[in-house]
Every structure is written in C-alpha cells, then in structure tokens.
A and B are shown apart, each in its own frame.
Chain A
Amino acid sequence: MCRGETADMSEVLEKPINTNKIKEILEANDGARIRTWLSICSRCGLCAESCFFYLARDKDPKLSPAYKVKHTLGEMYRRKGNVDREFLSKCYDILWGECTTCKRCSLFCPFGIDIATMIATARAVCHSQGIVPVGLTRTSDNYRLTGNQMGMSSEDFIDTCSWMAEESSEEVAGVNIPIDKKGARIMYTVNPREPMYYPQDIAMAAKIFTVAEEDWTMPSTGWDCTNLAMFAGDRALAGHIVKLMYDKAVELGVEKIVMTECGHAYRSGVFEGPYFAGYRNGRPPVEIVHSVRLFYEYLRDGRIKIDPDKMIEEPVTYQDPCNVSRNGGLWEEGRRIVSYLVKDFRDMAPNREYNHCCGGGGGFIPMGPEFKKRRMISGKVKAEQIRATGAKIVITPCHNCFDQVRDLSKEYDLGVKVLSFKDIICESMIIPEKFQPVETDEDEE
C-alpha cells in the first residue's frame, strides 16, 4: 500500500493523466450494450456467488463482479472520464488482480450482463495511461518487431522445428514439419513458450499429425497464436497480432488454422480478435480449430487409435479452461477425448461451461511474481475442486491452466500431475506399421 502510494505520488507529478484519451475510449465504447448494462444492473448480488475470487476470499463483498464493475468502468463513466491517477491505481488492482475475465458471472446474472467485457474496456482505459501490469506489456515490443511475444526469429523457429522433426523420427518414422506449405489443409500455430522452452510440445504435435496423416504446415511467421495484448487492454496491438496469423493463413491458402492447447489464443483468434482487427462481420477470415476439436475428430474417425493397454489407470480429472470450455464451446469434445485415454475419470463440480477459472487466466500467469500471492489465494476454489475428485492427474488443454494447477498442487499439497492431451496421446497412441522407426528402441514404462 505505502509503496504504491509513494510511487503514485511521484508519478502524478511526472505524468499527468490524459483525460482526453480516456474520454475518447469511453466515448468509443459508449454503445447500447455498456449503457444498458450499467444502467439496468439492479444490484441483486446474484453474481457474487459465481465468482471464485469472492468465494476464495471468505465472500468479501468487494469481490462481487457487480462491485468490481461499479467501482471501475461504472465510476469512469459516472465521472465522464475525469479521473486521477490515484483512482486508476485502485482500478489496476481490481481489473487485473481481482478478475480473470472468465465470463462465468454473465451466466449467473439475471440480465446476462457481460461483466468481463466491461472489465476489458476499463483495462483499455488504464492501459492508455500506462497503468498496466508489466508482465503483460513486456512482450509488446516483441510482438511488434517479430510478431511473437518472445521475440524469436523466424530462423530460430524454423531451426527448432527441424530439430524436433529429427528427434521425433526416432519414435515415429517419417515425421516432417513442413514450413509455409501452400494449400495445406491446416496451419498449426503455437504458444511461443513451446519453441522456446518446451519444444517437445511441437514434436508431439508433429507425431500426432504424422500418424493421423494430416496435410499440415507450420508458418514461418504468424505462428504465435497467443495474445497478451488482449489482456493488457491494448486493443490496437491485439488486432495487429491476430492479423499476422490471419494474413499468413490467407497467404498460404490453408483451409483451417489449428491452435495448440492454449485457451486464451482461441478466445483471441475466434471471438475477440476479429473485432480487434476490424473485421466488421466479427469472424476470422479462415476457420480456426482448437486442438481439442481436432484431436477429438482424429480419435472419433479412427485416424488416431489408442492402445487399450496404455490407457491411464490412475484417477484423472479434467480442468475445463475457461477459454476452451465456457468461452470456446468445447467442453464435450474435451470429455470425449478423455474417455478414449482414461479409465477412471472423475469430473469436477461444477464443470463444463459452469467451471470455475483456475485463477491463472486473464493474464494472471504472465503477470508474474507481483500477482503470484493473489493467484494462489484465489486458486483455493480450484484446488478444493480438484482435491474433492481424488484425482492424481489433471488434464488441461491450456498453458495457463497447466502452470496454475501445477502451482496449486504445490501450494495446496494436492499431489497431482498435470498433463496436456498431446502428452497422453503421444504416450498411448498406436504407431501403425508404416510409421514404426526401423531401429526400434525399447519403450520404458
């Protein structure tokens, strides 16, 4: 608190608030929806119980979604944009520290008020004044200069891909990662942490595509499907980022863009990105498919077959990533994949579109150490849900859920292992004869 106040005081002196810019953003968003939502909220309080921040912190009434909106965007409109830095600093805490824009509350509001959209709008206001978590803007220059958040060059990316293709051919013969192949059926896009830190994720995808005999390619640019600018409230940059991916897909003439197991990328690419990028019809120019959907189709159509002896025996639960399930519509597909891979599946309650956010969404994971403590506190709801299932393995097709559940397991002593679908599919799929490598290594347990 004190640290914040002193820092704010000096900033107030140095950097005055540009209220004209704020007014401009408020005006541009002052449409029928936000006006209606702000004016009809009847303060019934039903949204409170839907919010995991509220539930995790002993039902602190200041954590109810309606309260959070009232004291951020509501107040900005009430004051007609004439706000000071002190007010915006308070907003900062609420907008990023107390909401992951998971959209659960909008299903519990009698009027269906889309609170996450209003939180995102208020984030845009704060962003315009430079009030935004560093973890979300640190990557902005990388996005601008290289088109990906980690600043990886195309050469390095292509090198990583060919390295991974080479490695994978020891397990699956004929693995090849085609780069910029025109007219391929799918263009596969990833989260940059895969080529940077977890290149085996790319190897796993390559093995799955090879066995499924998919006609695929990876683009040399526009391969980053993430969009941290969306969470930072930087809508111009968010539009630029998705456009790189869309344009590349159009250039290559692919049928579909497939996204890795990442939640927010799907929300960005399919639902919000088209608006950021200025597509008036609100639809991406190329169909976008999430890995969860694609893997489900492979299994359903028998393009990938699972060895029944390799199905997981331990109890497993499924963490619905908000942006894959509630905000992506893929909760059934996820469960069907699970049914192919797992013998003892135990669903969490609530689940599917009513799932609780794990606490790592909305930018929380990249926001880093400054927010870690709150992330662990608010993750209590998810930790208890997981514990109640008795599961030893949590499957989740989202990098942020993955990190958060792993952290929660340590914090709350859950003793669970976190896996992605790729991890399990690669371990348990049957490699057909023609893809068996010539010199076979003994598989260990």
Chain B
Amino acid sequence: MYELYNFLTGPAVWISFLVFFGGLLFRIAYLAGLSRERDRVFYNHMSASSGFRSILHWLIPLGSVSLRSQPVFSVMFFCFHVLLFAVPLFLQAHNTLWHEAFGVSLWSMPDHFADNLTIAFMATGVFLFARRLVRPEVRILTSVWDYTLLILTVLPFLTGFLAYRQIGPYPIMLILHVLFGELLLVIVPFSKLGHVLLFFFSRAFIGFEMGERRGARTW
C-alpha cells in the first residue's frame, strides 16, 4: 500500500503532468499543422480585438445572450469551471506537496474553506449531471462517455473530500484520490475536455468569422 502510494505521488505525478501538458501541446501542434492548407479562412481574417472579445464575453458569467437565456445553468456551469481549477490549485495540502518538491507554492486557502468549496463543486457537478438527464435536448445528445467524463471529473474531489473528512478507510481514499486526479489529467488532452485549450481557438475563429468579417456580436 505504501509503495503504491509512493509510486502514485512520485513517478506517476510526473507522468500524468507530462501527458497532460505534452498531450495538449501535441494536439494543438497537430491541428496547427492541419490548418495550414485546410483552414486558410482561420488565418485570412484574423483580428486580435474580434478574437479577444469573442473569448472574453464567454468567460464572464452571463456575458452572452445565450448564457443569459439559461441563467441558473450558466451560474452552475461557471462555478463548476472556476472551482475545478481553484480548489486544487489553492488547496493547502497540494501547496505543501509542491513546496516540499520544488520549494515553491501558491497562496492557499484555509482547509475548512476548501472543504466547503469542494461541497459546492460536487453540487454543481450533480446539477450538471441531473440537467443532462432532465432536459430532453441535452439527454438526446449525451452519450455514456459524456456521463463518464463528468463522473471522472468529480471523483478526485469526492475522494479528496472523503479522505479529508476521514470517511471510509483513509489510506484507500487517499490513493483513490491521487489515482483519479492523475487519470483525469491523462484523459483531458485526448477527449472533449481538450476544450480547456481548444475553447480559445474555436472562440477566436468565430470571432474572426462573424465578428471581424461581418461585424456581428458573437456573444
């Protein structure tokens, strides 16, 4: 058990971060290569301001007509994404590990605060899951893999939460927590979760196409 834990918090961390960043970089580089000839339209009408506005309006909560049309979903969806990044990045335990490994760390929040935010994150996750089941236009599009990915995104938080609260066998929870976290990192570049970076490219493109070429608002 101890060896497994050591492996997961040692070499496996390196591997998963390498796959995460390397995979994303590879995907972007590959698409950039493809785009040279087949996506001339992307390069022909580039404009920093149109691209930027097209991105910015969708990073702001309720910043677009579309998001305002479903405000409850939009707020949940926004919180889900913010917490997905904020909780792991500013968690004290994670920062302690980084400090031990690299001698650097970020600001971290008090544990009880992180604990509450984790509950909030899981609540948004449950909401998004339920929405997929409840709304017919979403349910019809959703595949088993879409549900799986959502569960895989929430699992590191759930296991981390259980471990912190010492619910269930602590060592196993901790191992599962690290394992699911790493699994998620590895999956991101090769799934629709690649939108973590590709979002910026596809939004920029529609900004060029509808904003720059036509003057339309893309939000």
A interface residues with partner B (beta carbon < 8 Å)? 28-33, 35-37, 39-46, 48-50, 54, 59, 61-62, 64, 66-67, 70, 103, 106-114, 271, 275, 280-283, 326-329, 353-354
B206 touches A62 (CB 8 A): no
| Set of chain B residues within 8 Å of A326, measured between Cβ atoms | 210, 214, 216
Say whether A353 contacts B216, CB under 8 Å. Answer: yes
A33 to B209, CA, bound (A): 12
User: Which residues in window 139-158 of B have CB below 8 A to A?
Assistant: 139-143, 146
Chain B, 103-141, CB within 8 A of any chain A CB: 132, 135-141
Write out the residue numbers on chain B whose beta carbons fall within 8 Å of the beta carbon of A28. Answer: 38
| B141/A43 in contact, CB under 8 A | yes
User: Is the Cβ of A37 less than 8 Å from the Cβ of B202?
Assistant: yes
Q: How far is the CB of B135 from chain A (nearest CB, A)?
A: 6
Contact present for B141 and A64 (CB under 8 Å): yes
Contact B41 A275 (CB under 8 A): yes
Contact of B39 among A31, A42, A353, A354 (CB under 8 A): A31
Interface residues of B in 53-78 (CB under 8 A from A): 54, 58, 64-67, 69-70, 77
Q: Does B138 lie within 8 Å of A43, measured CB to CB?
A: yes
Residue of A nearest to B136 (CB): A61
Min Cβ gap B42→A in Å is 7
Which residues from chain B contact A107 at a C-beta distance below 8 Å? 65-66, 206, 210, 216-219
Question: Is B54's CB under 8 angstroms from A112's CB?
Answer: yes
A54 near B54 with CB under 8 A, answer no
Instruction: Report if B198 contacts A (CB, 8 A).
Output: yes
In angstroms, Cα B136 to Cα A59, docked, is 9
Give, as a whole number of angstroms, the nearest-CB distance from A63 to chain B.
9
- CB-contact partner of B207 in A29, A64, A103, A112, under 8 A: A112
CA distance A42 to B213 in the complex (A): 27
Cβ B195 vs Cβ A42 within 8 A? yes
Collect the chain A residues with CB atoms within 8 Å of residue B40's CB.
275, 280, 282
Q: Which single member of B146, B213, B218 contacts A112 (CB below 8 Å)?
A: B218
- Min CB–CB distance B37 → chain A (angstroms): 8
Q: For A111, give its contact among B42, B132, B199, B217 (CB under 8 Å).
A: B199
B202 touches A61 (CB 8 A): no
- Say how far A312's CB is from chain B's closest CB, in angstroms: 28
Q: A112, B38: Cβ atoms under 8 Å?
A: no
Look across to chain B and name the residue whose beta carbon is closest to the beta carbon of A283. Answer: B44
Q: Which chain A residues border B37 with CB–CB below 8 Å? A: 31
Q: Can you give 5 A-B contacts (C-beta < 8 A)?
A: A32-B38, A106-B218, A107-B210, A114-B206, A354-B65
Interface locus among B2-10, B28-36, B86-94, B169-177: B28-36
B205 within 8 A of A: yes
Given contacts A32-B32, A67-B140, contact A329 B44 (CB under 8 A): no
> Are A112 and B138 CB-contacts (below 8 A) given A32-B38, A32-B42, A329-B215?
no
The chain A residue sitting closest to B132, CB to CB, is A43
Least Cβ distance of B181 to chain A in Å? 21
B99 contacts the other chain (Cβ, under 8 Å)? no
Q: Which of B39, B143, B194, B215 contacts A32 (CB 8 A)?
A: B39
Instruction: Tell me whether B216 and A61 are in contact (CB under 8 A).
Output: no
Contacts of B203 in A (CB 8 A): 111-112
Main secondary structure of the interface of B (DSSP, over half): helix
In the assembled complex, B52 has its CB within 8 A of some CB on chain A = no
Closest 5 CB pairs of A and B: A112-B206, A31-B38, A32-B35, A45-B138, A329-B215
Q: Are B137 and A32 in contact (CB under 8 A)?
A: no
Q: What is the distance, in angstroms, from B81's C-beta to the closest C-beta of chain A?
A: 10
Nearest residue in A to B143 (C-beta to C-beta)?
A43
CA of A109 to CA of B218 in the docked complex: distance in angstroms? Answer: 9
Contact A113 B217 (CB under 8 A): no
Are B202 and A113 in contact, CB atoms less than 8 angstroms apart? yes
Is the pair B34, A30 in contact by a Cβ cutoff of 8 Å? yes
A30, A35, A59, A103 pick with most chain B CB within 10 angstroms: A35
Contact in complex: B39, A33 (CB < 8 Å) = yes
A287 to chain B, nearest CB (A): 14
Q: Which of A39, A44, A114, A271 counts the most chain B CB atoms within 10 A?
A: A44
**Nearest CB on B from A320, distance (A):** 11
Chain A residues in 8 Å Cβ range of B195? 40, 42, 111
Please determine whether A108 and B205 come into contact, CB atoms closer than 8 angstroms.
no
Given contacts A31-B39, A36-B201, A107-B218, contact A45 B135 (CB under 8 A): yes
Q: Could you say which residues of chain A place their CB within 8 Å of the CB of B64?
A: 108, 110
Nearest CB on B from A110, distance (A): 6
**A108-B141 CB under 8 A given contacts A32-B35, A103-B210:** no
> How far does the Cβ of A250 sit from chain B's closest Cβ, in whole Å?
20
- How many angstroms from the CA of A29 to the CA of B35 in the assembled complex? 10
Q: Which residue of B lies closest to A44 (CB)?
A: B138
Is the CB–CB distance between B137 and A61 below 8 Å?
Answer: yes
Report B-chain residues with C-beta under 8 Å of the C-beta of A54. Answer: 137
Selected from B38, B142, B210, B214, the residue in CB contact (under 8 A) with A43 is B142
When the two chains form their complex, are residues B38 and A59 in contact, meaning their CB atoms are under 8 A apart? no
6 additional A-B pairs beyond A32-B39, A112-B218, beta carbons within 8 Å, are A33-B41, A50-B66, A59-B136, A62-B140, A112-B203, A113-B202
* B residues near A39, Cβ cutoff 8 Å: 192, 194, 198
Instruction: Give chain B nearest CB distance to A187 CB in angstroms.
Output: 22
- Expressed in whole angstroms, the Cα–Cα distance for A37 and B64 within the complex equals 20
Pairwise interchain contact B44-A281, C-beta atoms closer than 8 A: yes
A50 to B54, CA, bound (A): 18
Residue of A nearest to B45 (CB): A282
Q: List chain A residues, Cβ under 8 A from B35.
A: 31-33
Q: Measured between C-beta atoms, what is the minimum distance from A57 to chain B in Å? A: 12
Quick check: A35 and B44 within 8 Å, CB to CB? no
Q: How far is the CA of A39 from the CA of B145 in the complex (A)?
A: 13
Bound Cα distance from A66 to B138, whole angstroms: 10
Task: Note all chain A residues with C-beta closer than 8 A to B219.
Answer: 107
